Amino acid sequence: MSFELTSTAFTQGDSIPIKYTCDGQDVSPPLQWKDPPEGTQSFALINDDPDAPGGTWVHWVLYNLPASTLSLQEAVASDADLPDNTRHGQNSWGRSDYGGPCPPGGTHRYYFKLYTLDTELELSPGASKKQLLSAMEGHILAQGQLMGRYKR
């Protein structure tokens, strides 16, 4: 099952504004969604770049967003442990926060993938994408995706 993930900063397949990249303020973009499936207990978000030269580069991992959450404001705080038990995981820079697009060359695609889960995850702050994906197995109700592009 899928549902719609959008942003007021860019639309599906369009360029991500410089503000949300390493060349700008490097803050997370605003994201919105609606109508999660019945039974949703939490959300998890993964933002990654499959076009990175050394393989997929993880820009943002966020999980245990409460089921009542229907948006993320611009510039989510970089605290590993956020209010309402929301937690940052570890990105490919080894940080527990958002790291914006910063491609070494060419145009890259950046996927924001939001998962609705039937449980709250028993993961400590700083979990990796791999750990998150493993913990989500068997608990994903639906997924929404937004892709933006960036070229330096």
- Residuewise pLDDT in 10s, the chain (152 residues): 778 999 999 999 999 999 999 999 999 999 999 999 999 999 999 999 999 999 999 999 999 999 999 999 999 998 767 878 899 999 999 999 999 999 999 999 999 999 999 999 999 999 999 999 999 999 999 999 999 999 99
What separation in angstroms does the CA of 59 have from each of 34, 39, 41, 138?
23, 28, 24, 24
Q: Where are the domains of the chain?
A: 5-151
- Give the pLDDT confidence score for residue 21 in this predicted structure: 98
% helix, strand, coil for the chain, step of 5: 10, 35, 55
Global pTM reads: 0.96
- Distance CA(99)–CA(36), nearest Å, equals 26
CATH 3.90.280.10 fits 5-151, yes or no: yes
- Give the pLDDT confidence score for residue 78 in this predicted structure: 86
Its sign, for the CA torsion 51, 54, 59, 63, is positive
Q: How many residues does the chain have?
A: 152
